[in-house]
Amino acid sequence: MRIRRLKLSGFKSFVEPAELRIEPGLTGVVGPNGCGKSNLLEAIRWVMGESSPKSMRGGGMEDVIFAGTANRPQRAFAEVVLQAETAPRDDGVREELEVVRRIERGAGSAYRVNGRDVRAKDVALIFADAATGAHSPALVSQGRIAAVIAAKPAERRQMLEEAAGIAGLHVRRKDAEQK
């Protein structure tokens, strides 16, 4: 899967709608301290279904919504749109994929995939099957390299499974066992 475009509105410090084109290959984000580099990576994780406020550096889920500054009021919602192309099918065709996640104060968050309402679980499976997702080793944030070196064997195994694209199988097995 290739991420092609990211749109943010009201997400953390990205208060005004912002749009980024992401070219194939390795992308690095550089800029002065506090300009929003980590927030950008968190936006990608969030739209992919990240549900732990801790890994989003916030106390609660609504902390991703622009909180306001001395001269700017807070926003009522945050929205992130991720446009991607799926890995080529057998006939070589890549399909377009658009995932939208939106959270409103007091109303929780909702997802849409290619214009249709879906559950968080559906979004997680799309990215797990594409060997990417909120915990993908393809998203390298500050401190991540040190974390890989210090990881316990079980944690390293999880990273390898995510890279291999079999993480979705565990989700499905857990699901089947509960039924």
Q: What are phi and psi of 164, to 5 degrees?
A: -80, -10
* d(C-alpha 179, C-alpha 174), whole Å: 9
Q: Is 38 in the site for Mg ion (CB under 5 A)?
A: yes
Would the CA dihedral through 14, 9, 135, 91 be positive or negative?
negative
Q: Is 35 within any annotated ligand binding site? A: yes
> Which span (61-69, 90-98, 125-133, 160-168) binds ligand ATP, by CB under 6 A?
61-69
Window 64-103: contact mask with ligand ATP (x via CB under 6 A): -xxx------------------------------------
Window 108-147: contact mask with Mg ion (x via CB under 5 A): ----------------------------------x-----
Window 24-43: contact mask with ligand ATP (x via CB under 6 A): -------x-xxxxxxx----
Q: Is 17 within any annotated ligand binding site? A: no
> Which span (1-9, 45-53, 58-66, 82-90) binds ligand ATP, by CB under 6 A?
58-66
Burial of 8 (0-12, 13-18, 19+ CB in 10 A): buried
Q: Is 55 in the site for Mg ion (CB under 5 A)?
A: no
Choosing among Mg ion, ligand ATP, none, which partner's interface includes residue 141 (Cβ < 5 to 8 Å by kind)? none
